Structure 1
Amino acid sequence: MTMAAVLEHVFDLRVAVGEPIRVGRTDSEDLNVTPIIGGTVEGPRLGGRVLGVGADWWVTRGATTQLDARYIIEADDGSAIDVVNRGYWHAGADVERRLVAGEDVPEEELYYRTAFVFQTGAEAHRWLTEAQFVGYARPEPGHVVIRVHRVA
């Protein structure tokens, strides 16, 4: 018998982002960098804020975008937590059109999934460094909202 994945919701990130910077395009991919300029952390196991340092390097190949973000969370107790968050984004043409038009699109209608690695020297947050975490994300104007879960 195989074990089914169990996810524990631990917090939500609301990451404020700046305008993307286009680095370059080749025949097969397009590289961009989006500055991370702040945000909030709220949830049952962690609260705090996203500091205005870091960025998301993203490469689009065909219809799929590969994400590689790195930033810092300051927990409510003042502890710093390093965040590495990598994942994938793709959506159908209709969903893309709706997003460009400014419509709210539920995360079930697009594939925007990430995996986290956290580092911190704070004993109170050591639990972040001892498990795998996954995120279900969705874009909002000026933000990326990510529901973060610990894989049990």
Structure 2
Amino acid sequence: MPELPDPRLEFAFEARVDVAETLHVGRGADEVVMFTPITGGTVDGPRLTGRVLAGGGDWSTTRGQVTELDARYLLQAEDGAVIDIHNRGFWRADPEIDARVEAGEDLPETLYYYRTTPFFRTDAAAHRWLTSSVFVGLARGEAGQVCIRFFEVL
């Protein structure tokens, strides 16, 4: 049987997602649930430009040192097409790094794991390519923003 090729990644675009203050939702026996409202942002890259629409949010569940992310929001392409994004992922870092990031320290992404797997929906013909490929996102937090670079898996 022939071997499968290793996957390659192609940069598609970067979203700079503006966020409001995170809200505490609740605490279970072994988890903490938080909600971060999405208030806007920009989209820029070789394959998509536009903006992040206000009104979405990210529900996060922390268990131990791992935070599961579940964000849902809308992008609006430069041509006016609306694109739904459901972006799930994980944040993890050792406690010292986690505390430094929470304090707003700008650290290299190699010190923590902040990855997402987005799923896109749109009926706009020009952007249907988003709905028929697998993507991964590499993220980092910035002051009042989350920056996510989206790559198509080839």
- Taking structure 2 as the reference length, the TM-score comes to 0.95
One-letter amino acid of the counterpart of residue 126, structure 1: R
- How many Å separate the matches in 1 of 2:61 and 2:27? 9
Corresponding residue SS for 2:55: strand
**Aligned counterpart, 1:36:** 38
**Aligned counterpart, 1:104:** 106
- How many Å separate the matches in 1 of 2:104 and 2:43? 24
Q: What do you get for the CA RMSD once the two structures are aligned? A: 0.9
**Aligned counterpart, 2:94:** 92
Counterparts in 2 of 1:41-52, with a 5 A limit? 41-52=43-54
Where has structure 1 moved over 6 Å in runs of 4 or more?
A: none
2:19 is aligned with 1:17: yes
How far residue 3 of structure 1 moved from its aligned partner, in angstroms, is 2.1
Runs of at least 5 residues in structure 2 that lack an aligned partner in the other structure: none
1:6 is matched with which residue: 1, 5, 8? 8
- How many Å separate the matches in 1 of 2:52 and 2:59? 17
Q: Percent identity, please.
A: 52
* Post-superposition CA distance 1:95-134 (Å, at most 9, x none): 1232133221122211000001100111000100010110
- How many Å separate the matches in 2 of 1:113 and 1:56? 14
**Aligned counterpart, 1:113:** 115
Runs of at least 5 residues in structure 1 that lack an aligned partner in the other structure: none
One-letter amino acid of the counterpart of residue 52, structure 1: A
**Aligned counterpart, 2:126:** 124
How far residue 136 of structure 1 moved from its aligned partner, in angstroms, is 0.5
- How many Å separate the matches in 1 of 2:64 and 2:97? 16
- How many Å separate the matches in 2 of 1:114 and 1:100? 19
2:130 is aligned with 1:150: no
How far residue 2 of structure 1 moved from its aligned partner, in angstroms, is 3.6
- Taking structure 1 as the reference length, the TM-score comes to 0.97
- How many Å separate the matches in 1 of 2:103 and 2:37? 22
* Post-superposition CA distance 1:22-57 (Å, at most 9, x none): 110022000111100000000000000000011001
**Aligned counterpart, 1:65:** 67
One-letter amino acid of the counterpart of residue 85, structure 2: V
